[in-house]
Amino acid sequence: MIYRVSIDTGLCSGFGACVDRAPEAFRLQGGIATVAATTTDPRVLDAAAACPMGAISVESLEAAA
């Protein structure tokens, strides 16, 4: 499964729960979370759920055949 991940930087408080849950996908830079646009790491779902600000959106994409 491929996931498209986005972060609303206006909502992100830099709490870091996303980095704790999916350290391969998320980084904190200047107090704001950053993420690759797409990933296969399913931990991004837990990271989005753990965000206290609700700043992370994850969309599941169909893998190309």
What pLDDT score was predicted for residue 60?
95
Q: Tell me the DSSP string of 6-63.
A: EE-TTT-----HHHHH-TTTEEEETTEEEE-SEE--THHHHHHHH-TT--EEEEEEPP
Q: Mind listing the pLDDT tens digit for each residue in 6-55?
A: 999 999 999 999 999 999 999 999 999 999 889 999 999 999 999 999 99
| pTM strictly above 0.85 | yes
What pLDDT score was predicted for residue 37?
85
Residue-range definition of the domain harbouring residue 24:
2-61
Whichever domain contains 43, its CATH number is 3.30.70.20
Backbone region of residue 61 per phi and psi (left: phi > 0; alpha: psi in -120 to 50; beta: other values): beta
What pLDDT score was predicted for residue 63?
61
46 vs 62 pLDDT, higher one: 46
The count of structural domains within the chain is 1
What pLDDT score was predicted for residue 62?
78
